[in-house]
Amino acid sequence: MREQHRQIYNITEGIRRNCEANISDAAQARSGDSRPMCPGVFDSWVCWPDTEANTSAVMPCPYFIIGFDPKLNAHRDCLSNGSWFRHPETGNEWSNYTTCINYDDLAFRNSIILINELGYSISLFALLLSLGILFYFKALRCTRITLHMNLFGSFAINCTGWLLFYGIVVPNSNSILNHNPEWCQLLHVVTHYFLLSNYCWMLAEGLYLHTVLVNAFGAEERLVKWLYLLGWAVPLPIIVVYGVMRGLDPDARQRCWMDDTMYNFIMAVPVCFSLVLNFVFLLNIVRVLWSKLRAGPMVGSHSERPSRTLLQAVRATLLLLPLLGLQYLVTPFRPDTGSMWERFHEVVSAFFTSFQGFAVATLFCFCNGEVLAQMRRRMDFVFQRRRANSYTATTVSL
């Protein structure tokens, strides 16, 4: 029997034993009472007490059923003849659990899923298009663009993993989460490996920019090798430790590892560390740029006007913000369940998380001056060749 089924079975068995004892005590207490009553019963989920005819028993919704809100109530109708209401289709005694679903919350959760699906889909398309553009134009190949391509690749695979989760697991959550198949657990681990890789490549980008600006004479080739290890190798031991520790805990490996557990700190600590480092890099980069701007024409090219230098510095600093992922510093701080900020946090977190790939692809490919220049040259070449072919065809026809 699967662990999830075993846990539910143990819970319901405990409820059943207590229910039988309570029903027995209630039967003795009402001995001699001639009023028509529906006898107490356990319906596999809830213990329903003895209930007077023409009334309804009301009990809290079971907390162990996925999709039920335990703050809501279920009810069971007792008819005038002292028998429980039977469902007209099945003919069996029926407890009404339809009221256990918080439809307002369900609609909100569906909207969050829609935001994630839309964001990851747009991000994946933008990232693949960006990778195609950068692969196509050989003239763009340099260390900085290579780092961008690795960052785009990690984001694209991560987006694919989340789209598989929202496309396969979420629509079939009742069956898949209860059975907890191995492939679903593996999908969680692989997706979170590439999520860690996103942060590591963000750190690699920040470290490279910091090194280029602060230590312009460093060995770039050796640095790039270390950055490759940082982007692809560093997340591996982290996700292995996370997977082993969570996989050995029977309570933490349920529901496709969908629920947050205490083991999430294994990933959260390195992520927060990388974000803090990137923030330090950004502050130091701004400091270096500001010192160079204050130095004026003595630094850099004498022909460069200060206003142009200021513009480039401001633009580079603003572009660093999405690249280094500082907005993720806001999303880990989850408000308490039911608080007024919970839904706002959910929307902000879903938007920033799912559209991050689109933002990175847009800022560092579609709005990249070098990329736009190469695309303009290519378009000019195509149009000129078409004009030449048209002119040749016209000349031959004459």
User: pLDDT tens-digit profile of 168-195?
Assistant: 988 887 678 778 888 999 999 999 999 9
Choose among 234, 237, 189: nearest CA to 207.
234
Range of lowest pLDDT (9-23, 274-288, 297-311): 297-311
Question: What pLDDT is stored for residue 83 in this prediction?
Answer: 93
Q: CA-CA distance, 299 to 307, in Å (whole number)?
A: 14
Residues making up the chain, counted from first to last: 398
Q: For residue 335, what are the contacts with CB-CB under 8 A and spacing of at least 6?
A: 341, 342, 345
Question: What pLDDT is stored for residue 2 in this prediction?
Answer: 41
Question: What pLDDT is stored for residue 143 in this prediction?
Answer: 83
Amino acid at 138: K
Domains located in the chain, CATH noted: 30-101 (4.10.1240.10), 103-296+307-376 (1.20.1070.10)
